[in-house]
Structure 1
Amino acid sequence: MTTISKQEVLAETATPFEVAERLAEYFALTAAERDLIGGTPYEQRQAIRDSGLLKLLIPKSLGGLGASWVELFQIIRLFARVDSSLAQVFAFQFLMLASIRLYGTKEQWQTLWKETAEKNLWWGNALNPLDNRTIATPNGNHLVFSGQKSFCSGATDSDRLIVSAIEAETNRFIVAAVPSNRAGISINNDWNNMGQRQTDSGSVNFDQLIVEQDELLMNPGPLSSPFSSLRSLVAQLIFTNIYQGIAEGALEEAIKYTQQSSRVWSGSLAQTVQQDPFTLLHFGEFWASLDASRLLADEAAKQLENAWRQDLLLSEEARGKVALAVFSAKVNITRSGLDVCSRIFEVAGARATTATLRLDRYWRNLRVYTLHDPADYKLKDLGDWALNKRYPVPSFYS
């Protein structure tokens, strides 16, 4: 009898979204407990590996599942409804793959994408443009990285890392793809924030890390064209969909708790909490704001997908239009999401604040993640377009 791998069985019997739904159900069983514990969710990460979804975006010609960005964002949002930490590390797998595709040569990205699909590799992040403490020094025909990086989401339990440094002689920003277990890399277990507690977003130290020339992702390199500058928009739309998923998850929990456990206030004329006019008013506000944010996020995803397919033919104007769509979606869900995640207790009631439920994790996760970069600067870019018809200037955050 021929042995069929778990990945093959899943691929034959279910769509990627159906596989993701099963994973989300599994994550939900322990999400509140793991939020309290923090650390690395090894079992859940292994379940994602086993599912085959790490190769979701990779074309079938390279051994992947051939999904679109639109499909990927839907799955990221699905995960975020129950566990936004796992949604983040899963999403960063594809931000790292996007970095390889946008920055490297055709031979580099196709080789690394194919290897990722074949070996089920998980990519972690050590590319932080705002942290310039890592310096790259030439040494013969390779570079030596030394220093530290912060906010290295998903680095723990990864197989490969995307790393960045500042070249000592030229002050050039350097990006490379290296094995996570290479000598000179120390991944620190020092992430202990109030939210996104299982993203392993701590620091990584580099001590005389040798980086070969063929590991550098510098041709065409970062921000070399409108197409290569899509990386920041991929990142921003990842954030947007995780925010959306967190808020939707909070609303789902509030609905469930209100229907099953909340009591009508003594001063209400309604017989049940489901008929109370103020409860209905608040849920109506929650629904309207999240529904609008969802539509914006979905439209931005479609525009990003179209831009991605244009490759190097993507124009500055087309790239600018995608940026406006992404920023509008992100700003709206930042505001509506924080509002919903904090106000669900107004409808669920005082008993919903019990530590057992840990419903506060939705607000904590969203509050931490939305501080990744200030929404004010996205509003500035949108205002510059509204007033002066200037598109956002491509950078690592815009």
Structure 2
Amino acid sequence: MTASSALRRASDASPLSFSSPTLAHLLGPGLDHVAAQLAATAVRRDREGGHAAEQRELIRASGLLALTIPDAHGGLGGSVPEFLEVVRRLARVDSALAHVLAFHHLQLYGVSLYGGPAAGTHGARHLRETAEQRLFWGNALNPADTRLTASREDGGWRLRGVKGFCSGALGSDRLTVSATTEEGGFLIGIVPTRREGVRVEQDWDAFGQRQTDSGTVRFDGVRLADEELLQLPGQGPTPRATLRSQIAQLIMTQLYLGLAEGALDEARRYLVERGRAWSASGVARAVDDPLVQHRWGDLRLKVRAAQAVSAEAVDRLRRALDRGEALTAQERGEVAVAGAEAKVLAHRAGVEIGSQLFELTGARSTSAEFGLDRFWRNARVHTLHDPVDYKLRDIGRFDLDGRIPEPTAYS
């Protein structure tokens, strides 16, 4: 299926053509089915790259796009821990598609958390339409890229320029967009992907996360109405609104953790089914080699530490979201520190396990047939999203003198 045919299919589909899964089914057998379908072609697709139109339609049809939308708006009402568990489980087999799904929901959280005109009644409409029509959202909000500008026009704005690293934009139905204004302000809004003047380019060519559709989006005089704004220029976000960045950070944590878990799963399978003991080991099977067992135990502990700290960080985020507008800056800062701890450990687990597994599985495991290199490549590319050293700085500063991280798009 081509990208254009996938777009036509999405726009032509009627809500009545889809089944209506329950949350319990989607988190159980439904998710297992999606994961198995992605795993069946993951090695080939990772090698080929490009737009995974067929797999994105599988996700669309599964009901996963409505996972975090509240029941009141026609969604499944999944909690943030349930959502992040889905991301981690899918990342074990396909971190690129897990990334696309995760960033779809990140945009939906933004609709709920930001306080601009597109929230409230308009936000409820966007969420309801997403649930009913199974719309895919993409990201054109990258705050580090300031090339997109917005100029004031009666009742709205005109967007001109480009945004890079726009995960999930290709094949999407809605985009969350950020732009700088001529007065030096900063706005965030919602733009339908097929609005006149929007052009999504298929130019993502990194050596990992190859099917995240994270290329460039160009805006040629694109209209953005005031009622489509999620954040007004000069509007200061509340502590609750800044939780969006913490959701984003824990999404990355789950992606890295899923990659680490997936790498261990595949390496274990290889060792059991194909592994050969080293001649000096004195054993017949690779899994009986005491040095392999020792090294495996070390890798396993890297995952266990990341899992435990991540679970605590996710629970802190859940409690912060439950606080609503009563959330304080101090509470928000403690969520950020917990998230930083989890992200550092998951970062290390993903990169180190993806590399070190080959020292246990041996030279034959580097064959393209097995695609084991995809775990390291995907972790290495995605862990460059924002410098992990600044997470370590935030952790150390908080522990030394109690200073909480300043809320930014990355902290």
Per the alignment, do residues 221 and 328 of structure 1 end up closer, same or farther by CA in structure 2, a change over 3 Å counting?
Answer: farther
**Which residue number in structure 2 is paired with residue 7 of structure 1?**
19
**Which residue number in structure 1 is paired with residue 316 of structure 2?**
303
**Residue 273 of structure 2 aligns to which amino acid in structure 1?**
Q
**Which residue number in structure 1 is paired with residue 332 of structure 2?**
319
**Which residue number in structure 2 is paired with residue 154 of structure 1?**
168
TM-score by length of 2: 0.93
**Residue 373 of structure 2 aligns to which amino acid in structure 1?**
D
The structure 1 residue matched to 2:386, chosen from 351, 373, 378, is 373
CA contact (8 A) 1:143 1:210 kept: yes
Following the alignment from structure 1 to structure 2, what is the Cα–Cα distance between the partners of residues 363 and 182?
37
**Residue 94 of structure 1 aligns to which amino acid in structure 2?**
H
Per the alignment, do residues 185 and 202 of structure 1 end up closer, same or farther by CA in structure 2, a change over 3 Å counting?
Answer: same
1:84 aligns with 2:95: yes
TM-superposed deviation, 1:184: 0.8
**Which residue number in structure 1 is paired with residue 150 of structure 2?**
136
TM-superposed deviation, 1:271: 3.0
CA contact (8 A) 2:256 2:349 kept: no
For structure 2, the residue ranges without an aligned partner over 5 or more in a row are: 1-14
**Residue 113 of structure 2 aligns to which amino acid in structure 1?**
L
Which region of structure 1 is more displaced relative to structure 2, 157-166 or 216-225?
216-225
1:48-96 deviations in Å (ceiling 9; x for gaps) = 1101110101111110111100011111001100000000000001110
Per the alignment, do residues 66 and 323 of structure 1 end up closer, same or farther by CA in structure 2, a change over 3 Å counting?
Answer: same
Structure 2 counterpart SS, 1:82: coil
Match runs of 1:174-189 below 5 Å: 174-189=187-202
**Which residue number in structure 2 is paired with residue 120 of structure 1?**
134
TM-superposed deviation, 1:17: 3.4
Structure 2 counterpart SS, 1:267: helix
Percent identical pairs in the alignment equals 43
**Which residue number in structure 2 is paired with residue 385 of structure 1?**
398
The structure 2 residue matched to 1:240, chosen from 247, 253, 273, is 253
Following the alignment from structure 2 to structure 1, what is the Cα–Cα distance between the partners of residues 239 and 354?
36
**Which residue number in structure 2 is paired with residue 25 of structure 1?**
36
The structure 2 residue matched to 1:63, chosen from 68, 74, 80, is 74
TM-superposed deviation, 1:218: 2.0
TM-score by length of 1: 0.96
The structure 2 residue matched to 1:361, chosen from 362, 367, 374, is 374
Following the alignment from structure 2 to structure 1, what is the Cα–Cα distance between the partners of residues 23 and 400?
52
**Residue 22 of structure 2 aligns to which amino acid in structure 1?**
A
Per the alignment, do residues 12 and 141 of structure 1 end up closer, same or farther by CA in structure 2, a change over 3 Å counting?
Answer: closer
TM-superposed deviation, 1:295: 1.0
1:269-294 deviations in Å (ceiling 9; x for gaps) = 22321211011011101111101101
Structure 1 counterpart SS, 2:209: coil
Structure 2 counterpart SS, 1:125: strand
Count residues in correspondence: 394
Q: CA RMSD in A?
A: 1.6
Following the alignment from structure 1 to structure 2, what is the Cα–Cα distance between the partners of residues 348 and 302?
36
Following the alignment from structure 2 to structure 1, what is the Cα–Cα distance between the partners of residues 19 and 232?
34
